[in-house]
Structure 1
């Protein structure tokens, strides 16, 4: 019994290192998310990015889409550790929009989620921004 207790005690500092690295990675993901929110510039680009936002939700959220309009895509919610999404298309003026992902989970602590919302939110932005990066000049998506 004493050997088992000593072995467990030896693992405690190791768990702290993993947790610290996770915290750093999560903070970096939130920073990236906040600075890379996708912006569409034209009606065609906005339509195509909005369609991709819906595809992303279908592939990544744990629940079915509950609401889909021209400005909101949201899933059903639950109190378990599943991923929930609420995507908003916010007007910036002159036909430009920000497509903002609000990814959450029903768990008491996000660390209990099947995937952390910070990493999923960043993935959402990367997915939509990649569409713009691949678009040849002068063409629609």
Structure 2
């Protein structure tokens, strides 16, 4: 089985692939590397108020879901992957800073079947016309 996820779904795909041996390949477009870090980046405009806001949001999530949703971080899960991974990111993404793709790529560096595909253009959710074909080739190669 192969798994593809976009944004939060990409992070979940990486986390799930690290836990489920049925997954033979994973593709993640615009995933974040660390939810806590992303929260601080997205709310940087709040200045010193961002820290208590992010802490409160994570505390609320713990109360609702019963665990720390920021751990393990997708980068930690990615470091454990030995299956084929296609990581896709754009430098123009306004939601997930490109530094998250770089951090994930470093975590995936020991995996010879991991690849970072950097899109030359595209905001969050914009895909080049040939993306579907590229994704299909990836899964056809690794999921039989």
Structure (1 or 2) with the larger CA radius of gyration:
1
The structure that is helix-richer by fraction is: 1
What TM-score does the superposition give when structure 2 sets the normalisation length? 0.23
The structure that is strand-richer by fraction is: 1
What TM-score does the superposition give when structure 1 sets the normalisation length? 0.23
